[in-house]
Amino acid sequence: MNRPSVCSSSSSSSDGSSSNTKAWIVHGIVAGVAIAVAVGARAYLGRFGKFRSRVVGIIPARFASSRFQGKPLVHILGKPMIQRTWERAKLAATLDHIVVATDDDKIAECCRGFGAHVIMTSESCRNGTERCNEALQKLEKKYDIVVNIQGDEPLIEPEIIDGVVKALQAAPDAVFSTAVTSLKPEDAFDPNRVKCVVDNRGYAIYFSRGLIPFNKSGEVNPQFPYLLHLGIQSYDSKFLKIYPELQPTPLQLEEDLEQLKVLENGYKMKVIKVDHEAHGVDTPEDVEKIESYMRERNLY
């Protein structure tokens, strides 16, 4: 993905100004709509007790990966990892339907083999969020919330899925919700473990591959409650439709974290803290670790 140019030639300055004006107008309209939706949602909640009630879980999966080629199909104690993720998602009480969204025939064949509903998406999707959006457009039924369930969390608790859904239902001013847990000291400087900071109302401030907050000593403070971002997030379906139209943002590109594009564009993101021992699979070495963990606890 090319980074946006910082400087432009004088010959294109008027076009750039026009584009920026249009962009601000679009964001102004979206912000106005978001406020109206929030006000309307509160009224709706008061009258009927329901808001964003129709929920679909989507597991985006791709074969190509710079860190771990074919990761969704790697076997964990005899089952493909994506099957284990799908089986865990099936236990969530808030999901009305679950699909796998992929651009790979091998993944599609595997998933259909264990009974999953598969939606084929294009290879042009730049991340899991865009793949979820494309899959959403191809579904016949309409949904209010889309849960992006990362396929590399094969031990994700269904209660966490339910938690992010309920958090978004209870926060009409937010368009996005996600979950965090306590960060282990040994993961503090691992760039594959994304960290998060939140405000005192439970809304996200920032995500980073580096340790945040970072103190003057440059060392981990054992007394500070650092937070680890978990690979699950839910979106208001209306917001998800406009997400691909938002241009990549500087922080998103620098950290390579898609959720930063949401924050940089001024949208609110609700965060819940859960008690979860994260077992994300980012490298081949992680497979051995998670299999050892599962054997110790008879999780077959």
Cβ burial of 288 (10 Å; 0-12, 13-18, 19+) is exposed
- Report how far residue 147's alpha carbon sits from residue 93's, in angstroms, rounded to the nearest whole number: 13
Range 154-179 average pLDDT:
96
DSSP 144: S
What does the pLDDT look like over 249-285, one tens digit per residue? 999 999 999 999 999 999 999 999 999 877 788 888 8
Task: Place 153 in a pLDDT band, splitting at 50, 70 and 90.
Answer: confident
Percent of the chain with pLDDT over 90: 71
CB 221 within 8 A of CB 240: no
On the question of a cis peptide bond just before residue 244, with omega within 30 degrees of 0, the verdict is: no
Q: Which residue has the higher pLDDT, 46 or 75?
A: 75
| pLDDT value of position 66 | 63
Range 92-116 average pLDDT:
97
Residue 143 has pLDDT above 60, yes or no: yes
DSSP letter string over 108-138?
Answer: HHHHHHTT-EEEE--TT--SHHHHHHHHHHH
- The structure tokens listed for 47 are 């009258």
| Whole-number average pLDDT of the chain | 86
Task: Place 27 in a pLDDT band, splitting at 50, 70 and 90.
Answer: low
- Cα separation of the two ends of the chain: 40
Angstrom CA distances, 232 to 42, 60, 126, 168, 252, stand at 25, 11, 17, 13, 18
Q: Does the pTM of the predicted model rise above 0.75?
A: yes
Cβ burial of 68 (10 Å; 0-12, 13-18, 19+) is middle
| CATH class in words for 52-296 | alpha beta
**Sequence-ordered list of residues with C-beta below 8 angstroms from that of 3, at least 6 positions apart, any chain:** 248, 253
- Report how far residue 14's alpha carbon sits from residue 260's, in angstroms, rounded to the nearest whole number: 29
- Report how far residue 60's alpha carbon sits from residue 267's, in angstroms, rounded to the nearest whole number: 23
- Report how far residue 183's alpha carbon sits from residue 180's, in angstroms, rounded to the nearest whole number: 9
- Report how far residue 155's alpha carbon sits from residue 91's, in angstroms, rounded to the nearest whole number: 12
Which helix (H) or strand (E) segment holds residue 183: the answer is: none
The 10 Å Cβ neighbour count of residue 132 is 29
